[in-house]
C-alpha cells in the first residue's frame, strides 16, 4: 500500500490504544451481510506512480478541454480571463482553506481579505452591505427567497421564468421543504422580459439581471411590481455586467445575489463556485451566513478584523437562526477579491464593454450565417439563437470542429426547442467568431 504511510505496527499500536484487537471490531455494528468481503471487489492491480499519473491523464483527456476548443457556452458559468495574480495569491499556504476563519488573533490577514470582499461586492451591487459569501449563486437566491418570507411573514414567492432553470430548481427544493408556494412569472413573450401580473400576495419578486437569456430586465418595472404587492425585490445579478450597467441597488433592490465565478474562478467541471449576497442595512439581522467587520482594540490604537455577525443555528438559538449555511467559499471569495483588486473599476468596465462589443459582432455574423436571434431587446454577453436544424445536433457537429457552440434549450424550455443559448465573453476574438459563423453556415446548410 504505497499511498498509506502507516506500517502494520502503527495500526496495531492504534488499535491497542482504543481497546480493540482488529479493524473488523471497529465495524462490528455493521451486519456481516452488508460488509464487503476482502478480495471480493473486482479491482485492477495497483499501479506505480508514473503509470497511475499516465492513467489519470488519459481519463482527463476524455473531457472537453477549453485549451483545445473555443467556448461559446455560458448559462451561468463563463470562460473569462483570470489574471496570473489570482493563482499566485490563492495558492499561498495561509489561504488554502474553504472555511471562514474563526480565530481573529490567528487570522487577521484572511479576515481582512473577506472584509475587502464584502466591501467591493456591496459597492459593485450598489448595496449597503454584503456577507462573507455563500455556496453558489443558486443557493444565494434560494436563501434570499427564504429570507424574504421571514421578513414579510408570507408563505409565497414569485420568481421570473427567465431566472436560471437550475436556480429555480434549488428555490423549489428550499421552498418545498418549508411549505412555501412558488409562483412562476412568465417571461417567454417577445423581448424575454418578465410579466409580473401573477405576483400578488408574494413576499418577494425574484428576477435575474441580465436574465438567463442575456436580456437586460427592466428593474424599474420589477421595483414597481414589488411595491404593488408590498414585497421585497430580489435580484440575481451578473457582477461583471454590473461593472457597466446601472447596479440593482440604484433601482431600489432589497436583496442582490449572484454568482462570483466570472471574477477569477475557473470554469472547472461546473465548480467550485462562490455565491454573492448583499442587502439593505435594515435587513442585516436577517442575512444568512456571516459578516466580517472592522473594529479597534480597547485603547483605540490598532485596527482589527473580527467575525461580527454569525446567524447560523450552530452559533445562536435555533429559533433565532436565519440559515443553516455552515461555511462559505472563502478561498473562491478570495479569488474574486484578488480579481477585482487586480482589474479595478476601469479594468472591470473594460471587460464588460469588450463582452458587449464581441456579443454584438457575434450576433451580426451568426445571423448572416443563417440563424436568427430569438428575442429582441438589449442583451449582455449572451443571446438566444434560433436554428433551422436541431440545436443538439448542431452543437455536436460544431464540437467536432473545435467549437463549443452553446446550450440547447429544449430540456429547460420546451417552447425553445429550436434554440440555443450562446455566450460571448471578452476572450472571444474576431477570428474565433468568424470561424464559428463559417462553421455554423456549413452545418445548417
Q: For residue 379, what pLDDT is reported?
A: 96
Query: Fold match between 70-82+344-444 and 84-339?
Result: no
pLDDT of 97 reads: 64
Query: What does the pLDDT read at residue 325?
Result: 66
- Residue 306 has a pLDDT of 84
pLDDT digits over 356-401, tens only? Answer: 999 999 999 999 999 999 998 899 999 999 999 999 999 999 999 9
The low-confidence residues of the chain, meaning pLDDT below 50, are none
Kindly report the three-state secondary structure assignment for every residue of the chain. CCCCCCCHHHHHHHHHHHCCCCHHHHCCCCCHHHCCCCCCCCCCCCCCHHHHHHHHHHHHCCCCCCCCCEECCCCCCCCCCCCHHHHHHHCCHHHCCCCCCCCCCCCHHHHHHHHHHHHHHHHHHCCCEECCCECCHHHHHHHHHHHHHHHHCCCEEEEECCCCHHHHHHHHHHHHHCCCEEEEECCCCCCCCCCCCCCCCCCEEEEEECCCCCECCCHHHHHHHHHHHCCEEEEEECCCHHHCCCCHHHHCCCEEEEECCCCCCCCECCECCCEEEEECHHHHHHCCCEEEEEEECCCCCCEEEEEEEECECCCCCHHHCCECCCCCCHHHHHHHHHHHHHHHHHHHHHHHHHHHHHHHHHHHHHHHCCCEECCCCCECCEEEEECCCCHHHHHHHHHCCCEECCEECCCCCHHHCCEEEEECCCCCCHHHHHHHHHHHHHHHC
Please tell me the CATH code under which domain 84-339 is placed: 3.40.640.10
Fold of 70-82+344-444: 3.90.1150
**Which pLDDT value is given to residue 155?**
97
Supply the pLDDT for residue 248. 98
Task: Supply the pLDDT for residue 44.
Answer: 87
* Residue 190: per-residue pLDDT: 77
Residue 98 confidence (pLDDT): 55
Domain boundaries, the chain: 70-82+344-444, 84-339
Amino acid at each position: 500500500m504505497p499511498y498509506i504511510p502507516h506500517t502494520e505496527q502503527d495500526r496495531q499500536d492504534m488499535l491497542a490504544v482504543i481497546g480493540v484487537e482488529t479493524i473488523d471490531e471497529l465495524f462490528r455494528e455493521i451486519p456481516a451481510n452488508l460488509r464487503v468481503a476482502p478480495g471480493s471487489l473486482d479491482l485492477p492491480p495497483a499501479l506505480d506512480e508514473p503509470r497511475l499519473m499516465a492513467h489519470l491523464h488519459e481519463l482527463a483527456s476524455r473531457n472537453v478541454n477549453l485549451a483545445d476548443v473555443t467556448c461559446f457556452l455560458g448559462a451561468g458559468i463563463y470562460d473569462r480571463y483570470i489574471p496570473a495574480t489570482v493563482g499566485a495569491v490563492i495558492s499561498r499556504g495561509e489561504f488554502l482553506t474553504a472555511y471562514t476563519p474563526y480565530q481573529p488573533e490567528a487570522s487577521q490577514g484572511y479576515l481582512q481579505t473577506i472584509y475587502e470582499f464584502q466591501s467591493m461586492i456591496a459597492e459593485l451591487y450598489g448595496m449597503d452591505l454584503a456577507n462573507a459569501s455563500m455556496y453558489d449563486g443558486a443557493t444565494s437566491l434560494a436563501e434570499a427567497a427564504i429570507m424574504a418570507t421571514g421578513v414579510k411573514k408570507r408563505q409565497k414567492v414569485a420568481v421570473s421564468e427567465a431566472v436560471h432553470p437550475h436556480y429555480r430548481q434549488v428555490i423549489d427544493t428550499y421552498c418545498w421543504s418549508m411549505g412555501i408556494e412558488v409562483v412562476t412569472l412568465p417571461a417567454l413573450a417577445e423581448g424575454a422580459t418578465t410579466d409580473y401580473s401573477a405576483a400578488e400576495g408574494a413576499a418577494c419578486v425574484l428576477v435575474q439581471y441580465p436574465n438567463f437569456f442575456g436580456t437586460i430586465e427592466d428593474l424599474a418595472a420589477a421595483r414597481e411590481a414589488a411595491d404593488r404587492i408590498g414585497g421585497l425585490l430580489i435580484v440575481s445579478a451578473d457582477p461583471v455586467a454590473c461593472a457597466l450597467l446601472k447596479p440593482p441597488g440604484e433601482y431600489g433592490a432589497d436583496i442582490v445575489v449572484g454568482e462570483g465565478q466570472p471574477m477569477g474562478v475557473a470554469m472547472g467541471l461546473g465548480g467550485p463556485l462562490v455565491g454573492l449576497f448583499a442587502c439593505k442595512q435594515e435587513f442585516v439581522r436577517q442575512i444568512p451566513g456571516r459578516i466580517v467587520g472592522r473594529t479597534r482594540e480597547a485603547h483605540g490604537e490598532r485596527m482589527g478584523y473580527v467575525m461580527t455577525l454569525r446567524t447560523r443555528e450552530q452559533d445562536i438559538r435555533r429559533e433565532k437562526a436565519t440559515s443553516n449555511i455552515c461555511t462559505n467559499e472563502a478561498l473562491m471569495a478570495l479569488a474574486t477579491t484578488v480579481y477585482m483588486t487586480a482589474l479595478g473599476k476601469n479594468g472591470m468596465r473594460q471587460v464588460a464593454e469588450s463582452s458587449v462589443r464581441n456579443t454584438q459582432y457575434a450576433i451580426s455574423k451568426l445571423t448572416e450565417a443563417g440563424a436568427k436571434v430569438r428575442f429582441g431587446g438589449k442583451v449582455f454577453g449572451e443571446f438566444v439563437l434560433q436554428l433551422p436544424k436541431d440545436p443538439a445536433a448542431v452543437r455536436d457537429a460544431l464540437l467536432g470542429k473545435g467549437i463549443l457552440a452553446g446550450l440547447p434549450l429544449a430540456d429547460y424550455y420546451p417552447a425553445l426547442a429550436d434554440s440555443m443559448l450562446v455566450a460571448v465573453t471578452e476572450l472571444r476574438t474576431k477570428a474565433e467568431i468568424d470561424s464559428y459563423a463559417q462553421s455554423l453556415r456549413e452545418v445548417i446548410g
